Structure 1
Amino acid sequence: MDAVDLAIVEIGKCVLNPLKKHMGYLIHFNDNVKDLKDRVEDLVAKREHIDQRVSTGCSNGEEEIGEVKLWLTRAVHMKEEAERIEQRVAENTRRLFCSNLSWRYSISKEAKQAMESISKHCNEGNFMRVTMPPLIPKVINQPAPSIKGLPSVESSFEKVMNALGDENIKIIGVWGMGGIGKTTLVNNVNNRLEGTQKFNKVIIVTASKDVEIRKIQGDIAYRLGLTLKNETSRATDLSNRLIKEKPFLIIFDDLWERLDLANVGIPSINSLEGCKILFTTRSEDVCRGMESEVNIKVEALSDDESWKLFKEKAGDVVDDPSLHTKAREVFKECGGLPLAIITLGRALRGVRNSSVWDNALSQLKRSAPSDIKDMERSVYQSIKLSYDHLRVELKPGFLFCCLFPEDYDIHVDRMIKLWKGEGFLEDGGSLNETINKGHTWVEELKSSCLLLEGKDEGYVKMHDIVRDVAISISLKEDEHYKSLVRAGVGLKGLINWEEYKRISLMRSGIDKLPKGMHCPRLLTLMMSENKELTEIQGWVLEATIELRVLDLSITTISRLPPSLSNLVNLRVLCLRKCIFKGTCLSALQGLKQLESLDLSRNKYLHELPTEIGELVNLVSLDLTETWHLSIVPSGIISRLTHLEELKMWKSFCKWEVEGKDASSSSNNSATFGEVASLKELSH
């Protein structure tokens, strides 16, 4: 073949190949449209799979990767474009003939190109990970009242900021009496550091009284995104991680005694450039023990500052000519203590009855209990006054909160059920109505500064001074609410058990109940979070026939004594995170008045005991995270005709379906129909 022939062949290829491609759009019209539909189905399936992975990751606290988010967005657009092409085909089926070759060519070409784009996009969607742990912020903004317009507080604030800016100062102490505003001060310091480059990490840890080093380590590690897996090297692992995070600032709020930083896992501050420790305490002795270079005392507010704060909280009623003088006298009794001013101002907000103000002034001038010295007498009287101004029905609920340990995050919904068990919320309404009413109470207590926001949503806590006052009230002011609170402190000394109606031994470190614990008047017994407690002696329950609330959660009790069935007045039984097996719960059958039973997170509970079916008045049953619960015998659930709440997240899932072939059914397992038959069930 000579050069001319070769040239002709090449020219033919240049002409015929493109022609062949374009003719293919006409010839393969139906194939292209069908292939596009198939590829869209593949795209949808892949997108749903990735969506599910993203949802799972996000539910575990991770964040969607940007590349994945972009892929999912493009997938939606591609699907929409393909659907438009399919719609055009569907609307023009009568025109799919050679008489409209131009339209046929155009649609086929678009379908082919869309199919190729979708195929490529599907291949690009093979992600190893679709979510990632969130970036740990340098500073987490803390809720804190503004200190603007309070010169004495602003002065303390500037002293702290100046000390943080001094390279020669490593440890800074902030001290003052309880309720003086130390936490507000350091929270404002934390928030001021947000957006600055001063520290790579600012970490706030609430130390509080009797706090364990292990908890402090856990709080710091959580803030760093670190898991301390090895119990023998927690301090070392934490220290190594902190060195990588330098420069850092760790704020220890509410220290009650010297804290050994090395035991916690804080590396030597003096050897780390830019790293600092800031702490708050009620005692100057703690400052000395911590060897802080600078100690900043938070003083009481001046009269002008106190009046400004009091007026803000009490409202314009203080400007009423008939009350102004009394109001000036009342706020001065607060001694410049912010907690007292805020609490008292809110208690008297909008009150225009002169007699109420006279009574308030009279109460504030009375002597406080002998164990509350100096300024704390004013704090007690202020908080007691706020308590006195509560609606009568809220008072027992408030006092009940002191049964929890100091600085304890109280789960609101659980507490409301305890309130109901005690009879505080008896109104004949549904569980949902009770929960709503309980939340209303909680909001009122928070508004009066008698409860504070907890660490997480759905939790509250008590300020330590408010809790001390509540304990004092429950012991001395009202015989009906007399409580023994040894939560977090253990049992010491002789105790006259018979006089108490409520006893809290939460986190008290006990491994058994003391001999002679005879409590005929007892209504509530809280013994949760005693991991060494392996049994509850039968004779204890035999002597507590009036008991209405019993909490044994987070203990190692493995069997309930038969005498439990004698507690005919018991309304609430909490066995959360225990180690019970189904056969160890036979004593439940006698609890005919039981309304709330919490068996959540019992990892050894394999079979739901049939005795639960005897609990005819049960309103709430919590089986959350009973991972190994594999047997729920038929007929138990359907007998709980008053049940309004059944929690089974991450629990039993082998429900039978009525009408199923008997040969493929166990005929011994609970059915969906049993749940459906519960007419009161709403949760």
Structure 2
Amino acid sequence: MAEGDSFRSIFVDTNFDTHLAVAFSPDDTVADLKVSGIMALSCLSQCGTNVTSELGKDIVNYLFIHLKSSFGYLVHYKEKVNNLQQTFEDLRSVKNDIQRRTKAAEKNGEVVDDVVTSWLRKVSELEQAVNTMLAEIRENKRSFRRFYPNLISRYKLGKEATKRKLDAEKLQEKGNFATVSQLPPPPSIESMPAGDFMAFSSTIEAMNNVLKAMRDENQQLIGIYGMGGVGKTTLMEELGRQFSISKEFGTVIKVVVSQNPNIDQIRREIAEELGMRLFGEGESAARKLADRLKKETKIVIMMDDIWSRLELRVIGIPIGDEHRGCKILFTTRTLQACQLMESHASILVDVLTREDSWTLFKSKVGDICRSPDIENVARKVADECGGLPLAIVVVGRALRGCSEKSVWESGLMQLKRSIPDELLNVEEQLFKSLELSYNYIKNEEMKLLFLFCCLFREDYEITEDELTRYVAGEGFLKDVYSLDEARGKIHLLVHDLIASCLLLKTERERSVKMHDVVRDVAVYIASKGDDCFFVKAGLGMRYWPESKTLEMCKRISLMNNDLLELPDQPNCPKLLTLLLNSNPSLKSISSSFFQGMASLAVLD
């Protein structure tokens, strides 16, 4: 073995710090410290080496280097502590920034990376160690022997400060995270909470197909189609709920298009969802919206109830190469509408299987359908609903708890009747199911309130206050003597209509809306009854309708149109309620307009 190798092996096995600690007695003066390092050379005698020999020179040189370093811990003690504190303050700033980013990520439903969590833990551990060391330093300042501090303690703390500074620098270097979190994996369909979404075989298949298309970078425009009442909107709302939680596709925006789309209104609703105040109309507003949407790296715009081609760029929605991160998900009743929209994927929401229909029907009717007398006819009633969830639910609610077989048989006969020609756009099973549900309402006030809801335009969110004003104005509520009493009764009736699935809750408190198919059926029923409604709300009408039926009508709704003028003196002797609100182009009304409306009680 070479001499250099032998002396290094000796000192590897020798605790040099121990020798140095012995050399530095607590009673040493500063002058003594200049020569006290020589005591550490006593280890030469352990190996019988002459200082003047080659090995001795190497050992002395080796000792000198280490003594110089060790003296640095002592002599530059304050500097090393100050350097540590500065380095750790820099690290603490990085830590605070990482913590802010992780909290924001968790708030958005993201999962913090394990490496980031581990880094934060190590920084906290180092912080605890540094705080302990600084506390010892403060204590050391108070400890004096003959007016001199404890030199051994200073040496140890100087050495520890150097080590902790290196640790802090390494952690600071590793803390340069480009990202601190990841999107959580999407939950399996089976694990999703039901809510209004029903996880049957047809809906699960549709859900999986939509998710597959959404994750395909080449599929930007995705259509969901199926019969009215099959659950397209419910499916899309469930997707929106999941997307909002997972953030997998970025920002989620939902708008309703309807049969007669209002482009300016759709544009404003999208802007409001983005927290943007959009002024103006037409191309200028469309450009502003497009510029804002392009700032979103990823975004999903959900458009419910499309009937024909909708020009997305006219609205201000950038598609194609203009914004590859923008996905459009829409619902429609027909495959043809998907083709008109040039969708990249068209996904069918099929009707429920016979077995799934029966399962859903039983859940709405209750245990009565298990009765030997009822089960056979109950299964036939469920079959007549044609696998449409909405039809199954409204019929099930209408017959819930009914134990009379004759009532079930009567209901079955109603479901087997043919539907009127005026409702060819409504699925036969759905119309008959809704008509049965309406006929089974025993409270006449509730029936009339249900029909009142069809006076509003499609997809309108109806407040209970609006209903109260109109209904109280006509005065058809019994045993009600004040507006507060009317408001309370309306609230109870609305609650029962929601329970019957004839009205839908909205996100706004004390407001409801009608499913578009339910509204179609309600408009038909209202137009044929003794009360005779005439409803043309939200259709873009510019002129007063020419119809002889107006003479027999008790309620006319032309709200949310573009009426330019009204006739001088229409003959409507039975008219009780006339709704003309939200017609911005209507500037004046003739003084003779109301002369043929002797019974008019409500005007809006």
- TM-score category of the 2 structures, normalised to the smaller one: 0.5 to 0.7
Q: In the alignment, what sits opposite 1:280?
A: 331
The answer as to whether partners of 1:269 and 1:276 remain within 8 angstroms in 2 is no
* Distance (whole Å) between structure 2 residues aligned to residue 333 and residue 456 of structure 1: 35
Q: In the alignment, what sits opposite 1:62?
A: none
Aligned-pair distance for 1:312? 0.8
The answer as to whether partners of 2:369 and 2:378 remain within 8 angstroms in 1 is yes
Matched, 1:412 2:464: yes
Q: In the alignment, what sits opposite 2:233?
A: 183
Report Cα offsets for 1:411-434 as digits up to 9, x if no partner: 211211211221221314332222
The answer as to whether partners of 2:544 and 2:567 remain within 8 angstroms in 1 is no
Letter in structure 1 aligned against 2:407 = V
* Distance (whole Å) between structure 1 residues aligned to residue 507 and residue 352 of structure 2: 28
Report Cα offsets for 1:408-467 as digits up to 9, x if no partner: 111211211211221221314332222111100011111111111234222111111111
Q: In the alignment, what sits opposite 2:312?
A: 261
Pick 1 or 2: higher relative contact order, CA cutoff 8 A, min separation 6: 2
* Distance (whole Å) between structure 2 residues aligned to residue 242 and residue 157 of structure 1: 26
Structure 1 146/436 Cα, relative in aligned 2: closer, same or farther at 3 Å?
closer
Please list, as runs of the form range in 1=range in 2, the aligned pairs for 1:37-186 lying within 5 A after superposition.
Answer: 145-147=195-197, 149-186=199-236
Report Cα offsets for 1:121-164 as digits up to 9, x if no partner: xxxxxxxxxxxxxxxxxx9xx99735454011100000000001
Q: In the alignment, what sits opposite 1:314?
A: 365
* Distance (whole Å) between structure 1 residues aligned to residue 349 and residue 436 of structure 2: 25
Matched, 1:226 2:276: yes
Structure 1 374/199 Cα, relative in aligned 2: closer, same or farther at 3 Å?
closer
* Distance (whole Å) between structure 2 residues aligned to residue 148 and residue 534 of structure 1: 49
Letter in structure 1 aligned against 2:586 = L
Report Cα offsets for 1:482-538 as digits up to 9, x if no partner: 011111122576301211111111012112113552101111111010111122222
Structure 1 266/334 Cα, relative in aligned 2: closer, same or farther at 3 Å?
same
Q: In the alignment, what sits opposite 1:13?
A: none
Bigger Rg, which one: 2
The answer as to whether partners of 1:335 and 1:378 remain within 8 angstroms in 2 is yes
Q: In the alignment, what sits opposite 1:334?
A: 385
The answer as to whether partners of 1:143 and 1:187 remain within 8 angstroms in 2 is no
* Distance (whole Å) between structure 2 residues aligned to residue 300 and residue 286 of structure 1: 19
Structure with a larger share of its residues in helix: 2
Letter in structure 1 aligned against 2:592 = W
**CA-atom RMSD, angstroms?**
2.1
* Distance (whole Å) between structure 1 residues aligned to residue 569 and residue 485 of structure 2: 41
The answer as to whether partners of 1:410 and 1:454 remain within 8 angstroms in 2 is no
* Partner-residue secondary structure (3-state), 1:542: coil
Q: In the alignment, what sits opposite 1:531?
A: 584
Aligned-pair distance for 1:179? 1.0
Long gaps (5+) in structure 1: 1-138, 552-683
Please list, as runs of the form range in 1=range in 2, the aligned pairs for 1:164-563 lying within 5 A after superposition.
Answer: 164-231=214-281, 233-373=284-424, 376-390=427-441, 391-476=443-528, 478-479=529-530, 481-489=531-539, 490=541, 491=543, 494-496=546-548, 497-515=550-568, 517-551=570-604
The answer as to whether partners of 1:397 and 1:424 remain within 8 angstroms in 2 is no
Aligned-pair distance for 1:301? 0.6
Structure 1 463/143 Cα, relative in aligned 2: closer, same or farther at 3 Å?
farther
Structure 1 494/422 Cα, relative in aligned 2: closer, same or farther at 3 Å?
same
Aligned-pair distance for 1:230? 4.1
* Distance (whole Å) between structure 1 residues aligned to residue 422 and residue 314 of structure 2: 33
* Distance (whole Å) between structure 1 residues aligned to residue 447 and residue 365 of structure 2: 21
Aligned residue pair count: 410
Letter in structure 2 aligned against 1:220 = I
* Partner-residue secondary structure (3-state), 2:373: coil
* Distance (whole Å) between structure 2 residues aligned to residue 432 and residue 245 of structure 1: 47
Long gaps (5+) in structure 2: 1-185, 187-191
The answer as to whether partners of 2:472 and 2:483 remain within 8 angstroms in 1 is no
Aligned-pair distance for 1:392? 2.0
Aligned-pair distance for 1:394? 1.1
Aligned-pair distance for 1:374? 8.2
The answer as to whether partners of 1:147 and 1:154 remain within 8 angstroms in 2 is no
